[in-house]
A and B are shown apart, each in its own frame.
Chain A
Amino acid sequence: MKSNLSNLQDLIAHQLLFVTGKGGVGKTTLSFVLGLLAAKQGKRVLIVELNASSLSVLVKGRKIGYQPEKILSNYSNLHVINVDPHSAFEEYILMQIKFKSLYKAVFENKFVRYFIDATPGLADLMCIGKIYSLVKEYDLVIVDAPATGHGLALLTIPHIVSSAVKVGPLGHEAQRIDELLHDEQKTEIVLVTIPEDMPVTETVELAEKLKSQNLKVGPLFLNQAREFVLTENDERLIQKSNLSEDLKGLVHLESVREDLLKYYRNILKDTFPDQINMPFMYSENFGLAELEMIAEDVGKQIG
């Protein structure tokens, strides 16, 4: 199925892509797939992880840190960073006050730590601030964003802060970040889901919330969208045949699954006329070879 609305060039022409969706639907996979596709086109790409544990297989147990690094030897222009709020906070404050000793005295104080950890939105603000500063250094930054609700919080916190804090650098920076997030030329949010009830419902709701915040929602990636080989006629013949009940049961299961896929595609169609399939994978822990396979398949659809 060739998609007519979106193509890879348009997608990777942005400077900042956020990949989000319900937990466990393939956000990290899609972030890397898009990263590989953009890197192959010669772009200098940075993938931002906010929870680096999800890539453990790719980096073979190594921890990705707060400094961008290359993790795939055959992709020299693909970089990965793990942005954690504490490091981002320290970097930001040091930028403001310039004295490490002062930072230590003030912000490593136990009580201040409590406060920093408990202040809602502060962690998100620090992370998105770091992402903002990285956009200038790469052709394309792809954020493997948190799941639905938290992902939305990450994208809306700059607006909240800039409208609450009118003076001082914090308010001004929040405003600049918010402007970048709302710049349709530069920023797009890419959603991924699987053909199941809750993920589909949440994805549609999330897209509506994002649009109501005037954020630009791009194409939808439908993960685990399998190809079904049996036709209705095949199934009729099989159910009438002398195959074992086990086999007939499986064939029935298969047709129920196919109906479900059609059903969910239909629900998604109103919100996302533009759907891109990600092939079905049998293991959730896969390496570069599998990612490249998915990238090739996706590339064919939108290339």
Chain B
Amino acid sequence: MLENKLDNIFNKKIVICCGSGGVGKTTTSAAIALKAAEKGLKTIVLTIDPAKRLATAMGLSSLSHAPKKVPTANGSLYAMMLDTKRTFDRLIERYAPSEKEAQAILENRLYKHMSNMIAGSQEYMAMERLHEIYEEGKYDFIVLDTPPTRHALDFLEAPRRMVNMTQNSLLKWFLTPGIFAGKVGWGLLHKGAEKILSVLDRLAGLSFLHELAEMISLMGNMLAGFQKRAQSVNDLLHSEMCGFVLIASPSEVSIEDARFFYEKINEEKLPFLGFVVNRIHQFSNVSLESLKTSSLDSEVKEKVKQVVQHYKKLSLRDESAIQGLKKSKKYFFKTIPLLAGEVHDLVGLEKMGSLLLS
């Protein structure tokens, strides 16, 4: 078994929690942050979309995107909700060379319709905010709860994808707005580009193309600043200051996702801390012995048997799901048993934190 690097978690300055949706990522992030604060580290947890009751427990409302002090007994813990609604607008505002150009992009009709759909922009913005907060230097320890992603480190790939789209020289050249101003440009185009244009024109008309061209060339202008920043975010993520925690639930799909994520993290040489497998049913060994001698009537006893049967089946299912991780000694992982109810208050977080980082 690998060394338990999760125990060294407080040597890090930034912990990034990843995993697919519904595995308890937000809760785990909050539990780690709570533990850090107890240790005396001034801590902030950046969260994306916490469940309502957990958000309430942490003093967060969906309307506010400023750090809020969490009412903990020990230490100083802050929580902040990341605004992912306007992510792309923020990128434009930040990196456009002038306010005028920023406005031109933001008002481009196509941009308006499509900005929210650019894959990975949400993930990337989370990393941007992380970098910003780290640079401010106000906190000793930062925990980031990432948006749910499946099968990809979208936050690393998003800048690349954008650069690919806008920097591509051929595309930029033949979609330059000037081309549409008159027929002068046409003769200069080589045959391939001409064909592409004529097909696109037939499909969607030149006015659409014109708008598309405007958007792409405007976005091309903001690339320099964007790329530079993306590079420093990337450097930060790869430094020893950071640590990645992969979170899964005991289902085959979720564990498969986490393993895939791990391979990616390895390929990218990102600093890995360990797996956390949440909400495991551990009831295989519950004995029915005391039922035999009990004075309960047989109908109730039968019901208890049914309940036990249910939880034993779930325990078996969970065990077989985590077998894969157990077998390959490559991965360190920590299992968290199912807690009664859901973790939605500070008491629950404290309990979970202690199980996680005992």
Please give the residue numbers on chain A whose beta carbons come within 8 Å of chain B beta carbons, in ascending order: 22-25, 93, 96-97, 102, 105-106, 109, 111-112, 114-115, 117-121, 124, 147, 153, 160, 163-171, 196-199, 201, 226, 229-230, 234, 237-238, 241-244, 246-247, 249-254, 256, 260, 282-285
B308 interfacial contact with A, CB 8 Å: yes
B161 interfacial contact with A, CB 8 Å: yes
CA distance A201 to B287 in the complex (A): 37
B253 interfacial contact with A, CB 8 Å: yes
In residues 166-214 of chain B, which contact A (Cβ within 8 Å)? Answer: 168, 170-171, 192, 195-196, 199, 201-205, 207-208, 211
If over half of A's interface residues share one DSSP class (helix, strand or loop), that class is named, otherwise mixed; here it is helix
In the complex, chain B residues whose CB is within 8 Å of the CB of A160: 113-114
Stretch at the interface among B34-42, B232-240, B310-318: B310-318
B65 interfacial contact with A, CB 8 Å: no
User: Do the beta carbons of B293 and A242 come within 8 Å of each other?
Assistant: yes
User: Do the beta carbons of A251 and B192 come within 8 Å of each other?
Assistant: no
- The residue of chain A having its C-beta at the shortest distance from the C-beta of B343 within the complex is A197
Shortest CB-to-CB span from B205 to chain A, Å, is 4
Say yes or no: A97-B199 contact (C-beta < 8 A), given A114-B171, A241-B295.
yes
In residues 235-259 of chain B, which contact A (Cβ within 8 Å)? Answer: 251-254
Q: Which interface class (under 10, 10 to 19, 20 to 34, 35 or more) fits B?
A: 35 or more
In the complex, chain A residues whose CB is within 8 Å of the CB of B192: 105-106, 109
B118 interfacial contact with A, CB 8 Å: yes
User: Do the beta carbons of B307 and A237 come within 8 Å of each other?
Assistant: no
Stretch at the interface among B66-74, B125-133, B298-306: B298-306
- The residue of chain A having its C-beta at the shortest distance from the C-beta of B175 within the complex is A115
User: Do the beta carbons of B313 and A284 come within 8 Å of each other?
Assistant: no
Encoded as 1 (CB less than 8 Å from any A CB) or 0, chain B from 347 to 358 comes to 000000000000
In the complex, chain A residues whose CB is within 8 Å of the CB of B148: 23
B109 interfacial contact with A, CB 8 Å: yes
Shortest CB-to-CB span from A50 to chain B, Å, is 13
Shortest CB-to-CB span from A5 to chain B, Å, is 27
User: Do the beta carbons of B117 and A250 come within 8 Å of each other?
Assistant: no
B22 interfacial contact with A, CB 8 Å: yes
In the complex, chain B residues whose CB is within 8 Å of the CB of A226: 310
CA distance A96 to B287 in the complex (A): 69
CA distance A128 to B215 in the complex (A): 25
CA distance A119 to B162 in the complex (A): 10
In the complex, chain A residues whose CB is within 8 Å of the CB of B54: 197
In the complex, chain B residues whose CB is within 8 Å of the CB of A199: 22
In the complex, chain A residues whose CB is within 8 Å of the CB of B205: 165-168, 171
CA distance A118 to B216 in the complex (A): 11
Contact of B286 among A22, A153, A247 (CB under 8 A): A247
B52 interfacial contact with A, CB 8 Å: yes
User: Do the beta carbons of B313 and A120 come within 8 Å of each other?
Assistant: no
Chain A to chain B: the 3 pairs with minimum beta-carbon distance, closest first? A118-B165, A167-B205, A120-B117
CA distance A238 to B294 in the complex (A): 10
A197-B342, A242-B293 known, 5 other contacts, Cβ within 8 Å: A114-B164, A164-B109, A243-B290, A243-B296, A249-B340
User: Do the beta carbons of B199 and A196 come within 8 Å of each other?
Assistant: no
Shortest CB-to-CB span from A240 to chain B, Å, is 10
User: Do the beta carbons of B289 and A244 come within 8 Å of each other?
Assistant: yes
Encoded as 1 (CB less than 8 Å from any A CB) or 0, chain B from 265 to 308 comes to 00000000000000000010011111101111000100110111
CA distance A109 to B197 in the complex (A): 13
Q: Can you sample 25 A-B contacts with CB below 8 Å?
A: A22-B22, A23-B21, A23-B150, A106-B192, A109-B196, A112-B171, A114-B171, A118-B161, A120-B118, A121-B117, A164-B109, A164-B208, A169-B203, A197-B342, A197-B344, A198-B22, A198-B49, A226-B310, A230-B300, A243-B291, A256-B340, A260-B341, A260-B342, A284-B251, A284-B252
B119 interfacial contact with A, CB 8 Å: yes
CA distance A96 to B200 in the complex (A): 10
Contact of B164 among A97, A118, A164, A237 (CB under 8 A): A118
Say yes or no: A170-B21 contact (C-beta < 8 A), given A120-B119, A229-B303.
no
Shortest CB-to-CB span from A133 to chain B, Å, is 16
- The residue of chain B having its C-beta at the shortest distance from the C-beta of A96 within the complex is B203
User: Do the beta carbons of A256 and B341 come within 8 Å of each other?
Assistant: yes
In the complex, chain A residues whose CB is within 8 Å of the CB of B109: 164
Say yes or no: A244-B290 contact (C-beta < 8 A), given A165-B204, A229-B307.
yes
CA distance A246 to B307 in the complex (A): 12
User: Do the beta carbons of A196 and B22 come within 8 Å of each other?
Assistant: yes
